[in-house]
Amino acid sequence: MKKKSIISKIYIGLILFFLYSPIAVMIVMSFNKGKTIVWRGFSLKWYGEVFNDRTIMEALGNTLLIAVLASLFATILGTAAAIGISNFKGRKRAVIQNISNIPIISPDIVMGVSLMLLFTFLGIIFRFEMGFGTVLISHICFCVPFVVLNVIPRIRRMDPSLYDAARDLGCNEWQAFFKVVIHELMPGITSGFLMSFTYSLDDFIITHFTQGAKFQNLSTVIYAMLRRKIPPTINALSALLFLAIITIMIFINIRDRHEEKRRARNI
């Protein structure tokens, strides 16, 4: 038994090593004074130059704006869709839910090409070019299923009599919906928003096919740099993004634990 425990710990350790060692190398190299992978000394030089690079900062702004807007719209649409799906019964609900999961399991290149063809066709009819709007719509399209996937389990766990109880206690339809139903679904809604934000933040394939000629986000800018040579500022920027995401995740986990403890005390 003890031997199995040691082997399992070694196995988990190897998995974590392969997952996080590239990120660790990237963070270490972001402090490298030189421009190559050869260590030339410790420096914060590249962190300062990140904010002076106009191309990178503009691409970062576009990426964050798209991610926030796409996550917000996808969360609203996905939550409404999840509530609508839960109102169906039997085979209809299963069929609609499976259809909503297709964008999750289908290859990104399929969705990217299909959206590109759609926007090209609509652009010819309505005379518009692909850019910020087409990228935003594309990101909303592939983010909605992730919100549905996170909200539906919360709906199944929720007591269906809570809404009726709120109505009996004097709430109107909207008050009962927002103060009771949305409150109960909030953990799933939050998870769906964060998952949408993460997927939108690092998406490349769908953005590449739908961005047009005048719009770029961070992933496409980095891809363009690959043809020449990636500057060390990308290491610094990636390290800052990784630190920001880790900080957000830690904050959310701490908040969820406090919420679980509070509910346990109330019970």
pLDDT digits (tens, 9 = 90+) for 189-241: 988 998 899 899 889 999 999 998 889 998 898 888 877 777 888 888 888 88
Any residues with CB less than 8 A from the CB of 85 and at least 6 apart, and which? 93, 96, 97, 100, 148, 152
Q: Is residue 265 part of a domain?
A: no
In a domain, 247, yes or no: no
Instruction: Tally the domains of the chain.
Output: 1
In a domain, 89, yes or no: yes
**Is there a domain that residue 70 lies in?**
yes
pLDDT at 267 over 70: no
Average confidence score pLDDT of the chain = 88
Q: Which of 229, 233, 222 is nearest to 46 (CA)?
A: 233
pLDDT at 142 over 60: yes
Structural tokens at position 158: 């929720």
| pLDDT classification of 74: cutoffs 50, 70, 90 | very high
- Whether the model clears a pTM of 0.85, i.e. scores above it, the answer is yes
Q: Is 237 contained in some domain?
A: no
pLDDT of residue 3: 65
Question: Is residue 218 in a domain?
Answer: yes
In whole angstroms, what is the distance from residue 183 CA to residue 74 CA? Answer: 18
Cα dihedral: 206, 211, 216, 222 (round 10):
40
Q: Which residue has the higher pLDDT, 77 or 100?
A: 77
Res. 1: pLDDT tops 70: no
Asked if 236 and 47 count as a contact pair (C-beta separation under 8 A), the reply is yes
**Digit-coded pLDDT (tens) for 9-19:** 888 999 999 98
Domain coverage including residue 131: 54-230
Q: Which residue has the tokens 């030189």?
A: 34
Indicate if the pLDDT at residue 2 is higher than 70.
no
pLDDT of residue 266: 66
Tokens (6 digits) for 262: 């509070």
What pLDDT does 240 receive?
87
Give me the mean pLDDT over the 27-36 stretch: 86
Q: In which band, very low, low, confident or very high, does the pLDDT at 4 lie, cut at 50, 70 and 90?
A: low
Cβ-based burial of 218 (10 A; exposed 0-12, middle 13-18, buried ≥19): buried
> How much helix, strand and coil, in percent to the nearest 5, is found in the chain?
80, 0, 20
Q: What is the CATH number of the domain that holds 190?
A: 1.10.3720.10
Alpha-carbon torsion 74, 75, 79, 85, what sign?
A: positive
Burial category of 215 from C-beta neighbours within 10 Å (exposed 0-12, middle 13-18, buried 19 and up): buried
Q: For residue 251, tell me if it sits in a domain.
A: no
Residue 239 lies in a domain: no
Residues 131-140 have a mean pLDDT of: 95
Task: Count CB-CB contacts under 10 A for residue 34.
Answer: 13
Name which of 19-28, 221-230, 241-250 the model is least confident about.
221-230
